[in-house]
A and B are shown apart, each in its own frame.
Chain A
Amino acid sequence: MNGDATFLGMPAFPANAAVAVRDSQLRYNLRKATHTIRGKRAAAVGELPDWAELRRAGKEIKDHTLRNLERYLVRMEEAVTAAGGHVHWAADAAEANRIVADLVKATGETSVVKVKSMATQEIGLNEALELEGITAYETDLAELIVQLGDDRPSHILVPAIHRNRAEIREIFRERMADWGRAAPEDLTDDPRALAEAARLHLRERFLSTRVAISGANFMIADTGTLVVLESEGNGRMCLTLPETLISVVGIEKLLPSWQDLEVFLQLLPRSSTGERMNPYTSTWTGAVEGQEFHLVLLDNGRTNVLADEIGRQALRCIRCSACLNVCPVYERAGGHAYGSVYPGPIGAILTPQLRGTASKLDASLPYASTLCGACFDACPVAIDIPEVLVHLRGKVRHARVERLGMRAAGWVFNRPARLARAQRLGGRLRRFVPGRLPGPLSAWTDTRDIPDIPPESFRDWWDRTDGGVQ
């Protein structure tokens, strides 16, 4: 099994969620943050009259690229190489980590700065580098909060969404000194003061570190260009200052041409941060003078996902997080409950496909949804997440008691006479149904009453009264 080591061995989603849902501070932080972003996104999307067409274009560009992935990957490799970069192919997390560690070691450095990147979190790169004696410093503000707090990310775009500013102040005051420049003595929880403390702390790091590691939001096959979208400018510091740049990018991040990028530069900021335009968009092609550039193309389960006719649409994902922000389950369970760097609805379909469903946690993820459909509506590349969830539910191994129950229900429903007999039995026993049901059904009556069972089913009423005529 691949995946981030820090999430290994977690219990299944329902158990994690049951703990998280009692955490009133977490609930408050998440409700406030997701509802704020939800509103901003709705406004930014709502003001575009051609959103539906943009969305369709985004879906079709991604589908076309995925259908011709081999061709575009080769074109990307040729273009990057021609522009003075080096291209490496990694089949899985271990291979990718090995390649990156060797590249860093070849420079003689023992520390790297990192641009916020989901791919490197997916493969557990920081932990792998640590084993090789290399320290990876996160430079995205939210990732810095997570790293300083010995925490795990809980959101794709806003990894520290589960923290409020009072908690962030505590983390900065207690931990910043261990990692470099300490936080000011008189640090308050004013957002400006917190940002300034992080700026001073990180500035030293940028100026002293010679190797940077990034991911990428998009790769343009025509020219071999990589594209990173961010809001802080910290990513650009990493992309421009160091002497060696290593980018780890999933193979599904390709776009054929710059013209295709135009669609996504509209879809992504409006869906993720609710902004009309992204603040810092960095693009680079190969190596600039005096800089060495390595591109590590990562599979890590993606070609298996591509082979699944229904599941492959998950590879269209551009990691905008709109589905997380509108998800009522994510809002109450928080990101950690999903046990993956990809939480929320997209995580519930991506993680079980990338990692498989052998563990209890991964097998429980397709069920971490009411199928309410809010995620599909919000997705800028029209991933039908409920469809994939249902598809994956059909593939996981079910508990024996559930299999028996479902088989029994199927047996009853297969014959109308059996259904009628079961209804009459229920009607006769109605007075003996306890207020609290036993076994798995107690999950219902723990918080809800069961409806009164009627003495007569509709079909029996119809038969007795000839459809209400008598």
Chain B
Amino acid sequence: MRVALFITCVNDTLFPGTGRAVVTLLRRLGCDVEFPRAQTCCGQMHVNTGYPEEGRRLARHFVDVFAEYDAVVAPSGSCAAMVREQYPRLARTPAAAGAPAGEGPPPGSFAAEVAETVPKVYELSEFLVDVLGVTDVGAYFPHRVTYHPTCHSLRGLHLEDRPTRLLEQVRGLELVPLPGADECCGFGGTFALKNPAISAAMCADKVHNVTTTGAEVLCAADNSCLMHIGGTLVRQRAGVRIMHLAEILAATESGDDRTVRG
């Protein structure tokens, strides 16, 4: 099975440690992972901010880059949800929308390529639990951790308890429930810049809930939400650090996760 890592532009640029953790983790589980150098961005920022043409161009590029792989793994619920929910819409032309039911998109069309590639794209915990069939990834992380499910993981991808099942199997890890976990943190991409007052108010409530757990680490499957919550935690000197799910799952007792820390 040829497995490609879709690192996502945010992780590539700002959180390379998460990408290194995914590589470490997947190799430990016997999976040879490739990194297609031509990848850039899924186009979510453009589409969700109201620039569908730019987004469509990036979606075409994504499909070109990843079509040849058997599985594409993304350490981001949000970007995986973008591909799964929005690519078919971006590929839907007015003509295709009027096509008789039961007929697929014409072969070779963008819509056909999307229909082919999208089902092979997995968020990390989906790939681990559903494709590799593991929940104990051999990780060791002796810390008190709370998990924020993030909206696109929860309501977009319906990851359900996959991430927490993985965390529960980590030796030494104490998983504490997060009050109001299903509420949005207020990031919302460019929402954070367009509606900063509401975004900050939502984050203040999220941070309050995080600190009441007494956790040392706030974990999520999305670094963009974590960047927003974490930026507020640091500003408030709250003493809680953020970690991507992959970074916790890559950590082991022998410390062979050094690539993670760079």
Contact = CB atoms under 8 A, between A and B. Distances in A.
Contacts of B262: 454, 456, 461
Interface stretch (A58-66, A75-83, A162-170, A368-376): A368-376
B48 A390 contact: yes
B165 interface: no
Contact of A14 (B38, B48, B187, B197): B197
B199 to A, nearest CB: 8
A75 to B, nearest CB: 27
Contacts of B16: 454, 456-458, 461
A222 B79 CA distance: 47
B20 A468 contact: yes
A328 B187 CA distance: 12
Contacts of A450: 231
A13 B194 CA distance: 10
B58 to A, nearest CB: 6
A54 interface: no
Given A416-B39, A459-B7, A394 B232 contact: no
Interface stretch (A106-114, A125-133, A339-347, A437-445): A437-445
B201 A373 contact: no
Contact of A17 (B47, B197, B232): B197
A259 interface: no
Tell me which of A376, A377, A390 has the highest count of chain B C-beta atoms within 10 A of its own C-beta: A390
Chain B CB count within 10 A is highest, among A376, A451, A454, A467, for A451
Contact of A453 (B14, B39, B51): B14
B155 A393 contact: no
B177 interface: no
A18 B46 contact: no
A332 B40 contact: no
B192 A444 contact: yes
A53 interface: no
A100 to B, nearest CB: 37
Contacts of A377: 155
Nearest to B8: A458
B203 A447 contact: yes
B187 A370 contact: yes
Contacts of A366: 50
Contacts of A459: 7, 12, 35, 37
Contact of A370 (B35, B51, B186): B186
A406 interface: yes
Contacts of B86: 390
Given A371-B188, A398-B50, A451 B14 contact: yes
Contacts of A332: 198, 201-202
B183 interface: yes
Nearest to A332: B201
A354 B170 CA distance: 53
A410 interface: yes
Contact of A409 (B17, B45, B194, B198): B45
A28 interface: no
B196 interface: yes
A261 interface: no
**What does DSSP make chain A's interface, helix, strand, loop or mixed?**
helix
A426 interface: yes
A423 interface: yes
Interface in B40-81: 40-41, 43, 45-52, 54, 57-58, 61
A372 B24 CA distance: 31
A410 B57 contact: yes
B230 interface: yes
Nearest to A456: B16
Contacts of B4: none
Contacts of B97: 309
Contact of B48 (A371, A373, A419): A371
Contact of B231 (A409, A416, A440, A451): A451
A369 B14 contact: no
Interface in B180-212: 182-184, 186-203
Contacts of A440: 193
A89 interface: no
Task: Among B16, B37, B45, B192, find the residue whose CB has the most chain A CB atoms closer than 10 A.
Answer: B16
B162 interface: no
Nearest to B259: A468
Contact of A406 (B49, B203, B234): B49
A387 interface: yes
A280 interface: no
Given A390-B48, A446-B200, 19 more contacts: A309-B94, A367-B195, A371-B191, A377-B155, A394-B52, A398-B51, A410-B46, A413-B9, A414-B57, A416-B37, A416-B39, A426-B13, A444-B231, A448-B200, A450-B231, A451-B227, A454-B14, A459-B7, A468-B24
Interface of B: 7, 9, 11-17, 19-20, 23-24, 33, 35, 37-41, 43, 45-52, 54, 57-58, 61, 86, 89, 94, 97, 151-152, 154-156, 182-184, 186-203, 227-228, 230-232, 234-235, 259, 262
18 contacts: A14-B194, A17-B198, A21-B198, A333-B198, A374-B183, A374-B184, A390-B47, A393-B49, A402-B49, A409-B45, A412-B40, A414-B58, A416-B39, A419-B9, A447-B196, A447-B235, A449-B232, A454-B16
